[in-house]
């Protein structure tokens, strides 16, 4: 169980957010997130949309059909989430 799940419970959006925070600076795609996070492709596609709308995640294109995603580390909301995640990880390890 990761740090976010300990407090907020387990749901697909938190699993995706946890994955993206742990892999910040990395560009990935829906199938890659799904495989690494243990979720279905359709679940990731569904929960990535609110993260895009809130500007927490940035979308790019690879070729004509493949959507890529990366954590938007320029967003103030994302910066706050990263600080919270890192601080929470430290507290729960102690």
Domain 3-88 = CATH 1.20.1250.20:
no
pLDDT digits (tens, 9 = 90+) for 36-71: 999 999 999 999 999 999 999 999 988 888 899 999
Q: Which residue has the tokens 């990880």?
A: 89
Q: Which residue has the tokens 């993260």?
A: 51
Contacts of residue 85, Cβ cutoff 8 Å, sequence gap at least 6: 3, 4, 18, 21
**What is the pTM assigned to this prediction?**
0.85
Q: How confident is the model at residue 3 (pLDDT cuts 50, 70, 90)?
A: low
Q: Residue 23: its pLDDT value, please?
A: 94
pLDDT digits (tens, 9 = 90+) for 78-90: 999 999 989 988 8
Does residue 9 surpass a pLDDT of 80?
no
């Amino acid at each position: 169980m990761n740090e976010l799940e300990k407090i907020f419970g387990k749901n697909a959006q938190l699993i995706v957010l946890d994955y993206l925070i742990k892999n910040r600076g990395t560009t990935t795609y829906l199938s890659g997130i799904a495989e690494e996070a243990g979720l279905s492709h359709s679940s990731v596609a569904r929960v990535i949309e609110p993260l895009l709308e809130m500007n927490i995640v940035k979308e790019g294109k690879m070729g004509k059909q493949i959507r890529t995603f990366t954590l938007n580390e320029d967003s103030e909301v994302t910066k706050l989430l990263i600080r919270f995640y890192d601080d929470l990880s430290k507290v729960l390890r102690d």
